Amino acid sequence: MLHIDWKKHVSGAFPPALLIAAILGAMLWHQHDSLEKVAERDRGTQMRLVGSLLGSSFDQAAKFSLSLAESFARNPQIREAAAVGDRARLEALAKDAYQYLNRQASVQIFGFHSRDLRYLLRMHRPDQYGDDISSFRAMVVAANRLRRAQTGVEIGIAGIGIRGVAPVEQAGELVGTWEAGLDIRPLLDLVKTSTNTEIAVLAAHSLSGVPLDPKLPAVGDLTVMASTNDSLFSGFLRAHPTKPLRDVEISTRRFDGRAYGVMAQPLVDFSGRLIGLTLVLKEEPNADWRRLMTELWVIALCGGIIAFVGFLVLARKRRQAA
């Protein structure tokens, strides 16, 4: 009966099988590293696309806000009423237009400021008027002093908005400024629909220069002024404290058992002053990623086992031939 020395067979097959397994492992590690770099590059590209779409939406909204403000500032009846400070007349002239624009175009802010920088008429808050806004409404101050239209993001008593402010003149004299502002939330929802991301506009108490609405979600120094998912961002900020930065930052974070691609970019007002940040979250397909990596490891393991068995058979045949 032929005696088989398994120890010799195994010792002969093990080194080359181990070498092949090591080569497969090195190839797998290289593939894993390559996939990580591709994923990081794709994440950055996708996040910058979201930032670009958001910026474009804000720019278009700013142009629309300014066109509304300028159209009312040039209305002869508005000019006449503004020149004499006739608040009731201004309200009657603007009422129908504001109700329509608020309903159809998300115009959140609409009103007139007198030449002495007091808010004479807020269509969005008609019972609140006559207050001095010179200390926190830099956009209105600039439009008043320079007698030129201004537009951009700014925080006021009514919250954050994309605003346009236009000077109102009568007989060549400045009599005040007219303002129109759009709600940011519909813009965020529009970008979310296009990119499948969650977006929040966050203001910092220490940078805003105006008291923020205490009813809005707040975590530390940051208040969620507008977002596509308030509860998600409130929880995320508690788990991952974030500060406004001057540069765009793209990273990954885990929260509530999920992995997210994260982009934080500075939020600046019309004058370039940092007032907070825009935060973008995009859930990453962890299940697909883990399945792919598991498949690669299984392939490497099977390759090592097959190589070991193959060399074991070859070693046995060689010994039998000898």
Query: For 224-247, how does the pLDDT look when each residue is reduced to its tens digit (9 = 90+)?
Result: 999 999 999 999 999 999 999 889
Separation between Cα atoms, residue 97 and residue 158, nearest integer Å: 19
Per-residue model confidence (pLDDT) at position 284:
81
pLDDT band at 68 (very low <50, low <70, confident <90, very high): very high
Per-residue model confidence (pLDDT) at position 299:
67
- Mean pLDDT, the chain, integer: 85
φ, ψ for residue 167 (rounded to 5)? -70, 145
**295 against 109, higher pLDDT:** 109
Beta strand pairing call for 107-114 and 119-122 = antiparallel
pLDDT band at 2 (very low <50, low <70, confident <90, very high): very low
pLDDT band at 272 (very low <50, low <70, confident <90, very high): confident
267-273-275 Cα angle (round to 5):
45
Q: Write the DSSP assignment of 174-212 as a string of letters.
A: EEEEEEEEE-SHHHHHHHHHHH--EEEEEEEHHHHSSPP
Across the range 128-156, mean pLDDT stands at: 93
Per-residue model confidence (pLDDT) at position 278:
96
Per-residue model confidence (pLDDT) at position 257:
86
Per-residue model confidence (pLDDT) at position 81:
96
Percentage of residues of the chain with pLDDT beyond 70: 76
Is residue 274's pLDDT more than 60?
A: yes
User: Do residues 112 and 120 make contact, with C-beta atoms less than 8 angstroms apart?
Assistant: yes
pLDDT 10s digits, 205-220:
999 888 888 899 999 9
**104 against 209, higher pLDDT:** 104
Per-residue model confidence (pLDDT) at position 4:
47
Is residue 307's pLDDT more than 50?
A: yes
Separation between Cα atoms, residue 275 and residue 318, nearest integer Å: 78
Per-residue model confidence (pLDDT) at position 1:
42
Strand partners, 119: 113
